Structures are given as C-alpha cells and as structure tokens.
Amino acid sequence: MGAASTLANVRRDGERLVFSGALDRPACAGLWKQLQPLPDAVRTLDLSAASRVDSAGLALLAELASRSGGVAVVGAPAGLAELRAAYRLDHCLAFAS
C-alpha cells in the first residue's frame, strides 16, 4: 500500500464529524492531534466517505464516541462491522451489554 492509501481527513459540519480516507494507524495520530480538544456538541460520526477502518481507527472513533456521551454512526467502511463485532461494540461504538 502506498502513502495515498492512508490519507485521511476529518472536518466539522455542525454536530457532525465527517471522516474521509482510510482510518488506519498511520492516519490516526494526525487525526487525533487535529481533534484535540474534542469539539463540543458532536452527535454524529459520518464515515460515509471513509474507505476502511483498522483497529487504530476503531479505537479513535470509540474514544470520540465515549467523550461525546454517545453518537450516531453513519456509513460502514470496510472493516468496521468485523471490528465492532470483535470488540463487542454496538452500532454507536459503545460496549454492548
């Protein structure tokens, strides 16, 4: 995989964080810095334009969801469903009971 495969971006759109690109380990450090401090009033993580998610990307998203007090997740990039199941996270990225 080349460097272009790891390009990821996040932008704020009201109460929505819109992610694009591959949410993988190389991208997450930069995204985490960009998201500090966590924007107020985030209610939706929009992954519609994200190409894939690895375990580092899932950890970033789950932390954002937790700090926001719960979010809706829109979109299902490659890897998300499998990782959510493996880590027993619900559709809002919280630990399933």
Domain of residue 39: give its range. 3-86
Q: Is the separation of the CB atoms in 77 and 51 below 8 Å?
A: yes
Indicate whether 94 belongs to any domain. Answer: no
Q: Is the pLDDT of residue 55 over 50?
A: yes
Residue 12 lies in a domain: yes
Read off the CATH number of the domain in which 11 is found.
3.30.750.24
pLDDT: is 35 or 1 the higher one? 35
Taking only the tens place, the pLDDT of each residue in 69-83 is 889 999 999 999 999
Going from the C-alpha of 88 to that of each of 37, 50, 62, 79, 91, the distances in angstroms are 27, 21, 11, 14, 10
Answer yes or no: is 97 within a domain.
no
Query: Which uninterrupted H or E stretch holds 74?
Result: strand 72-74
Query: Could you tell me the pTM of the whole model?
Result: 0.89
Q: Which of the four pLDDT bands, split at 50, 70 and 90, describes residue 58?
A: very high
Q: What domain count does the chain have?
A: 1
In a domain, 96, yes or no: no
* pLDDT tens digit sequence for 2-54: 444 458 999 999 999 999 999 999 999 999 998 988 767 899 999 999 999 99
